A and B are shown apart, each in its own frame.
Chain A
């Protein structure tokens, strides 16, 4: 379970002060896929980075399985599987070595790692490139490797930043099926996207974020009702109050 409570984060540079996140709150239950939906620069990645302890919030509190993130960063990271926005695969290592490295960092033994890699590779369809060096991987192959790497320690909570970015239709469908399977096993999944259809196809509940603030929370149907619009894209544009910008 992931609980986020009125997070604030401001970035200061010489040129300007940017309030990236202004009081974001939401809660993702176990056995739920929660979608973080927002336009570019809405504060999704910053919110997730505070969740996986890369950044410290200036205000507010993040809890993972009831543990305060600031107080127990190590234990929280152990309970999280993270796919960052930048996949960050090591080019000179094979896909298998990339995943094994993280398995070792999670203190798993070789036998466990091998068994889990075999399982993840067959679910994600990675067998044909598993033992190739990541140099020259397609974006889909890189994302699959990074997802397998994030899940090698079977985390209870899974955080995915724009997981379907750059993936083709078939890979995206396969990934959706995989994530639903994880949800049905009781995992708590939070993922971000800037595409309404993407979120609607997968999520139980959607958190719409714009300008660093939560604009709405609800299931796709609830959001349709709330806005009185049938088309999901229209719903998103209305909720994120993007109309004045796009008109």
Chain B
């Protein structure tokens, strides 16, 4: 046990003397996180505000057929321009998000009090077109409803007669949950950082030491190989958790500084502590898995080439949940990555995690960590480990 601490202490001293690696490892995450949150927040906020509030330029074909409608549009902050000859290619080339076409029959049908045809051309695959389309659509609907009511009144009918059903919408999402939707990328980032945040250190203390041939004298000491390995794992876990503490606090700070809706995400100290607790098994799993790979690999280069695959693992549950959303069930807390994803989302959405869920989550996380530790310890006992080349 004492040897374990001795090894961990030495690895941390050795690491912290490598200033550049430490600065990159510890500060890159905390600087990146606010960058992403503030950046995305500002971008979305800005986009929505300008698209909602600015004057919308709407190319209209057949302006002369519906002067009243055009006047109505202009009164709703939509500036009407003459449409290009080929609206389809204009929309595809993104010269205009939406183009309104007033049909040939508009005037005659209007006079006969029949529905007058207008057509909106847009490209649903363009995110950018969503808000302009909604704005124009809503104004057209409003115009249609207003004129329809007036026609009814003229004929002595109540405007309400045209409204058979009154629909009311009740959104039960809590404010926290709605904000959580903005943050679907966050669990991925946090899981990724905890999973392979200290990869450089982990690979270096096993594969790197082996390559530098300093593992041979170390293994010639009376200390058991599993104790040496555990000391190295402990050092990497401590370093990983230190990095995560910085990231979680950067995360808390950046929400306070973020513009718009994100500013209301409040990461309280208990939530921050719970986030760290959730990430703890992930740090252990990542460190033991990397130790296992580093012990199995013939060189640092080989060990590092596993990283690109490992980086994809944490995103798997996010993608699966996106394609096939599943309800919150207990088994989810047993699946690595998915479990972390669910736990973090729950914390961000401000939901309560039941003691049973905590217990299942922690047990499975640490059990997997232990399993990987056992496999890594077996690999550490391989003869070829101490011998380089």
Do A and B interact with each other, yes or no? yes
The answer to whether B213 and A84 touch across the interface, beta carbons within 8 angstroms, is: yes
User: Known: A88-B216, A106-B222. Is A93-B10 also a contact (CB below 8 A)?
Assistant: yes
**A87 neighbours in B (Cβ, 8 Å):** 213, 217
User: Known: A49-B387, A55-B387, A74-B224. Is A101-B217 also a contact (CB below 8 A)?
Assistant: no
**B3 neighbours in A (Cβ, 8 Å):** 104-105, 107
A80 within 8 A of B: yes
CA gap between A82 and B214 in the complex, in Å = 12
* Min distance, Cβ B22 to any Cβ of chain A, angstroms: 11
CA gap between A115 and B329 in the complex, in Å = 62
CA gap between A207 and B13 in the complex, in Å = 42
A179 within 8 A of B: no
A219 within 8 A of B: no
- Give per-residue flags for B367-389: 1 if the beta carbon is below 8 A from chain A beta carbons, else 0: 00000000000000001001110
The answer to whether B383 and A101 touch across the interface, beta carbons within 8 angstroms, is: no
B111 within 8 A of A: no
A4 within 8 A of B: no
* Min distance, Cβ A217 to any Cβ of chain B, angstroms: 25
CA gap between A88 and B387 in the complex, in Å = 12
User: Known: A56-B383, A88-B217, A146-B217. Is A78-B10 also a contact (CB below 8 A)?
Assistant: no
The answer to whether A54 and B220 touch across the interface, beta carbons within 8 angstroms, is: yes
B18, B209, B216 — which one has the most chain A CB atoms within 10 A of its CB? B216
A92 within 8 A of B: yes
User: Known: A55-B387, A90-B214, A97-B13. Is A105-B219 also a contact (CB below 8 A)?
Assistant: no
A149 within 8 A of B: yes
A129 within 8 A of B: no
User: Known: A55-B383, A86-B388, A93-B14. Is A77-B213 also a contact (CB below 8 A)?
Assistant: no
From B7, B17, B217, give the contact of A92 (CB < 8 A). B17
* Min distance, Cβ A182 to any Cβ of chain B, angstroms: 18
Q: How many residues in A have their beta carbons less than 8 Å from beta carbons of B? A: 33
- Give per-residue flags for B57-74: 1 if the beta carbon is below 8 A from chain A beta carbons, else 0: 000000000000000000
**B154 neighbours in A (Cβ, 8 Å):** none
* Min distance, Cβ A105 to any Cβ of chain B, angstroms: 4
- Give per-residue flags for B169-212: 1 if the beta carbon is below 8 A from chain A beta carbons, else 0: 00000000000000000000000000000000000000001001
Q: Which residue of B lies closest to A9 (CB)?
A: B383
B134 within 8 A of A: no
Q: Which residue of B lies closest to A55 (CB)?
A: B383
The answer to whether B387 and A105 touch across the interface, beta carbons within 8 angstroms, is: no
Contact residues, A102-118 vs B (CB, 8 A) = 102, 104-107
User: Known: A84-B216, A88-B216, A107-B2. Is A78-B222 also a contact (CB below 8 A)?
Assistant: yes
CA gap between A80 and B220 in the complex, in Å = 8
The answer to whether B14 and A53 touch across the interface, beta carbons within 8 angstroms, is: no
User: Known: A88-B213, A88-B214, A106-B222. Is A93-B2 also a contact (CB below 8 A)?
Assistant: no
The answer to whether B215 and A88 touch across the interface, beta carbons within 8 angstroms, is: yes
CA gap between A197 and B383 in the complex, in Å = 33
B28 within 8 A of A: no
The answer to whether B6 and A104 touch across the interface, beta carbons within 8 angstroms, is: yes
From A54, A75, A92, A146, give the contact of B222 (CB < 8 A). A75
**A93 neighbours in B (Cβ, 8 Å):** 10, 13-14, 17
B54 within 8 A of A: no
CA gap between A16 and B212 in the complex, in Å = 26
CA gap between A87 and B223 in the complex, in Å = 19
The answer to whether B220 and A53 touch across the interface, beta carbons within 8 angstroms, is: yes
User: Known: A80-B220, A105-B221, A106-B221. Is A54-B17 also a contact (CB below 8 A)?
Assistant: no
- 27 contacts across the A-B interface (CB closer than 8 A): A49-B386, A49-B387, A54-B216, A54-B383, A74-B222, A74-B224, A75-B222, A77-B220, A77-B221, A77-B222, A80-B220, A84-B213, A85-B216, A86-B388, A88-B209, A88-B213, A88-B217, A92-B17, A92-B18, A93-B14, A93-B17, A97-B10, A101-B10, A104-B6, A105-B3, A105-B221, A133-B17
